[in-house]
DNA sequence: TAGGCCATCTGGTCCT
DNA sequence: AGGACCAGATGGCCTA
């Protein structure tokens, strides 16, 4: 609530800002420059000419031009506001999609809402775990003995051989990895830059793989 | 109080 | 030309 409302506050602030910048009420204290398109470039007006008639003509010209500039400014402003609106909607759609993804992912015990990046990573791990489940189930249907090494590794337990269980060995025939490690995509146990992905993998694997047995 | 997460704005780029 | 997408900037909220 607070974030959204604060966003609206900011939006209204921007609108206020825009309304402050509205040149429909502009006078001659500022003149438009050719580089306005590249940003807000209002410069103090240069000293007015001291000539008589030419000054009048110049004022007429400038007044007409100012009106035109005001129109251009309003058009730009409207375009920008429409673009902001589309961008807001686009991000809302993205967040809706993330919420939909969260809803199909298993909830953590403490029921804390996954952040965006956690949602994506966990979804990746979850898909990988499900794939492994299918693969192992398929293997089991052919040779149940193949399951033993895999099951012994669940819960990050040491392998029967004494060395700490490593995911690559547990899933030696695995076709893919749930890890987002930048350096080693073939090893689910590889420590990534963030350190906690391995926990996600173990969690997803231990939580869902045994459920089919 | 620093850091993480988030929403929004904005300008640039690409696509239709 | 206008919309979609993207990345950077900014500022608010929350938590350790």
pLDDT at A134: 95
Sequence-distant (≥ 6) Cβ neighbours of residue A176 within 8 angstroms: A128, A131
Is residue A128 within 8 Å of residue A178, measured between CB atoms?
yes
Mean pLDDT of A141-166: 44
- For residue A81, give the nucleotide whose C1' atom is nearest its CA: B9
- A128-150 confidence digits (pLDDT tens): 999 999 999 999 888 766 655 44
pTM above 0.95, yes or no: no
Q: Write the pLDDT tens digit of every residue in A68-100.
A: 777 877 888 888 888 888 899 889 989 989 988
**Tokens 């993998």 sit on residue:** A201
Closest residue, by C-alpha, to the C1' of B9:
A84
Mean pLDDT on A26-34: 30
Instruction: Tell me which of A7 and A80 has the higher pLDDT.
Output: A80
pLDDT at position A129: 94
Does A51 or A84 have the greater pLDDT score? A84
Per-residue pLDDT at A171: 32
Strand C: protein residues, Cβ closer than 7 A? A 2-3, 6, 10, 79, 82-83, 86-87, 90
Give distance CA A146 / C1' C2 (Å).
59
By C1' distance from the Cα of A194, the closest nucleotide is B4
- The answer as to CATH 4.10.280.10 being correct for domain A70-139 is yes
The phi, psi pair for A44, rounded to 5°, reads: -60, 140
Residue A56 CA to residue A47 CA, distance in Å, equals: 14
* Ranges of each domain in chain A: 70-139
> Which residues are in reach of strand B, CB within 7 A?
A 3-4, 7-8, 10-11, 14, 17, 38-40, 80-81, 83-85, 87-88, 91-92, 95, 115-118
Strands (E), chain A: 30-32, 42-44
The DSSP result for A163-203, as a single string, is SPP-HHHHTTT-S------SS-TT-TTS--SSS-HHHHHHH
- In angstroms, the CA of A3 and the C1' of C14 are apart by 11
């Amino acid at each position: 609530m607070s974030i959204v409302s604060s966003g609206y506050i900011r939006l209204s602030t921007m609108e206020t800002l825009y309304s402050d910048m509205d040149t429909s009420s502009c006078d001659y204290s500022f003149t438009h420059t050719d580089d306005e398109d590249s940003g807000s470039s209002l410069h103090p007006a240069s000293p007015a000419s001291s000539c008589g008639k030419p000054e009048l003509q110049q004022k007429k010209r400038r007044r007409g031009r100012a009106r035109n500039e005001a129109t251009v400014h309003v058009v730009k402003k409207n375009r920008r506001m429409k673009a902001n609106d589309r961008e807001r909607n686009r991000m809302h759609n993205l967040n809706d999609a993330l919420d939909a993804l969260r809803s199909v992912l298993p909830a953590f015990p403490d029921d804390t809402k996954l952040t965006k990046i956690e949602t994506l990573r966990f979804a990746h791990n979850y898909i990988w775990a499900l794939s492994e489940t299918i693969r192992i189930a398929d293997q089991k249907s052919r040779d149940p003995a193949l399951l033993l090494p895999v099951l012994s590794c669940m819960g990050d337990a040491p392998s029967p051989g004494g060395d700490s269980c490593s995911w690559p060995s547990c899933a030696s025939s695995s076709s893919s990895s749930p890890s987002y490690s930048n350096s080693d995509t073939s090893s689910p146990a590889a420590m990534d830059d963030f350190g906690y992905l391995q926990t996600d993998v173990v969690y997803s694997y231990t939580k869902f793989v045994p459920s089919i047995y």
